[in-house]
Amino acid sequence: MNRKCIYIFLSVFLLFFIQQQVFSQTLKKLLKQGVIAMNEKDYFSAAQLYNQVILKDSSNLEYQYLYATASRLNFDNDIAYYWYLKVFKIDNGNHYPETIYWLGELLKSKAQYKQAKKYFVKFVAKYKKSRDEKMKKMADKAKLESESCDLAQILIKNPLPIKIEHLDTNVNSKVSEYAPIEVDSLLYFSSLRDKKDKDKKTDLSFNKIFTSKRENQKWQRAMEIDSIINKQGVHNANSCFNKDYTEIIFSRCKQKNASDFTCKLYSAKYINGKWATPEMLRAPVNTEGSNTTQPCLAELNKETYLFFSSDRSGGQGGMDIWYCKRTSDETYGEAINAGKLVNSYEEEKTPYFESVTQTLYFSSNHHKGLGGFDVFKSDYKTDAFKAPENAGYPINSPLNDVYYSNNSKKDKAYISSNRVGSYFEEKQSCCNDIYAFAITPLVIDKPDTLVKPVDSAMISINQMKVLVPLTLYFHNDQPDAKTLAITTKKNYKATCEAYLAMREQYLKEFAKDLKDPDKTAAENKVENFFEDSVQAGLNDLERFALLMEDVLKRGETIKITMKGFCSPLASTDYNVNLAKRRISSLQNYFNQYKNAMFVPYVQSGKLIYYEENVGELPASKQSDNYYDTRNSIYNPGAAAERKIQIIAISEIR
pLDDT reading at 112 higher than 90: yes
Report the alpha-carbon distance of residue 66 to residue 79 in Å, rounded. Answer: 12
**Residue 406 — very low, low, confident or very high, per pLDDT cuts 50/70/90?**
very high
**Overall residue count recorded for the chain in this entry:** 653
Q: What is the pLDDT of residue 10?
A: 45
Domains and CATH numbers, the chain: 97-158 (no CATH), 165-453 (2.120.10.30), 457-652 (no CATH)
Report the alpha-carbon distance of residue 566 to residue 503 in Å, rounded. Answer: 20
Which residues are CB-contacts of 8 (< 8 A; sequence separation ≥ 6)?
A: none
Q: Which of 3-7, 383-387, 416-420, 640-644 has the lowest mean pLDDT?
A: 3-7
DSSP 427-496: STTSS-EEEEEE-PPP-TT---SSSPPP-HHHHHHHHHHHH-SEEEE--TT-SSTT---S--S--HHHHH
pLDDT reading at 453 higher than 60: no
Question: Can you tell me whether residue 211 is helix, strand or coil?
Answer: strand
Q: What is the pLDDT of residue 616?
A: 55
Q: What is the pLDDT of residue 458?
A: 84
pLDDT reading at 16 higher than 80: no
Pairs from 548-552 (Cβ < 8 Å, separation ≥ 24)? 548/464, 548/590, 548/598, 548/607, 549/593, 549/594, 549/597, 549/598, 550/456, 550/457, 550/460, 551/457, 551/460, 551/461, 551/464, 551/651, 552/598, 552/601, 552/606, 552/607
Burial class (CB in 10 A: 0-12, 13-18, 19+), 573: exposed
Q: How many CB atoms lie within 10 A of CB 560?
A: 22
Give the residue among 345, 391, 399 at the shortest CA–CA distance from 373: 399
Report the alpha-carbon distance of residue 100 to residue 88 in Å, rounded. Answer: 7
Average pLDDT value for residue range 468-496: 95
pLDDT reading at 612 higher than 80: yes
**Residue 456 — very low, low, confident or very high, per pLDDT cuts 50/70/90?**
confident
What's the DSSP call for residue 400? -
pLDDT digits (tens, 9 = 90+) for 337-348: 999 999 999 999
Average pLDDT value for residue range 382-405: 96
| Strands of the sheet with 412-417, listed across from one edge | 165-166, 433-438, 412-417, 401-406
Average pLDDT value for residue range 315-325: 97
Report the alpha-carbon distance of residue 412 to residue 414 in Å, rounded. Answer: 7
Question: Can you tell me whether residue 417 is helix, strand or coil?
Answer: strand
Average pLDDT value for residue range 471-496: 95
Alpha helices in 532-612 (DSSP H): 536-553, 572-592, 599-603
Which residues are CB-contacts of 137 (< 8 A; sequence separation ≥ 6)?
A: none
Report the alpha-carbon distance of residue 30 to residue 49 in Å, rounded. Answer: 6
Is 463 within 8 Å of 150 (Cβ atoms)? yes
pLDDT digits (tens, 9 = 90+) for 254-306: 988 888 899 999 999 999 989 999 999 999 999 999 999 999 999 999 999 99
Is 368 within 8 Å of 147 (Cβ atoms)? yes
Strand bridging mode 186-191 / 208-215: antiparallel
Mean pLDDT score of the chain, rounded to an integer?
Answer: 91
User: In the structure, how many helices (H) and strands (E) does the chain have?
Assistant: 16, 28
Q: How many CB atoms lie within 10 A of CB 92?
A: 20
Dihedral (C-alpha) 245, 347, 39, 233: value to the nearest 10 degrees?
A: 0
Is 240 within 8 Å of 296 (Cβ atoms)? yes
Angle between helices 113-127 and 536-553 (to 10 degrees): 110
What's the CA angle centered on 62, arms 61 and 65, to 5 degrees? 85
pTM for this model (two decimals)? 0.88
Report the alpha-carbon distance of residue 623 to residue 12 in Å, rounded. Answer: 51
HEC per residue, 335-360: CEECCCCCCCCCCEEEEEEECCCCEE
Q: Where does 37-176 show beta strands of DSSP type E? A: 165-166
Give the residue among 539, 541, 568, 575 at the shortest CA–CA distance from 641: 568
Strand partners, 293: 309
Q: How many CB atoms lie within 10 A of CB 477?
A: 18
Strand bridging mode 607-611 / 557-566: parallel
Is 192 within 8 Å of 204 (Cβ atoms)? yes
Which residues are CB-contacts of 110 (< 8 A; sequence separation ≥ 6)?
A: 77, 81, 398
pLDDT digits (tens, 9 = 90+) for 505-536: 999 999 999 999 999 999 999 999 999 999 99
Which residues are CB-contacts of 474 (< 8 A; sequence separation ≥ 6)?
A: 495, 496, 499, 582, 642, 643, 644
Give the residue among 361, 440, 353, 367 at the shortest CA–CA distance from 402: 361
**Residue 247 — very low, low, confident or very high, per pLDDT cuts 50/70/90?**
very high
pLDDT digits (tens, 9 = 90+) for 186-213: 999 999 988 788 887 777 889 999 999 9
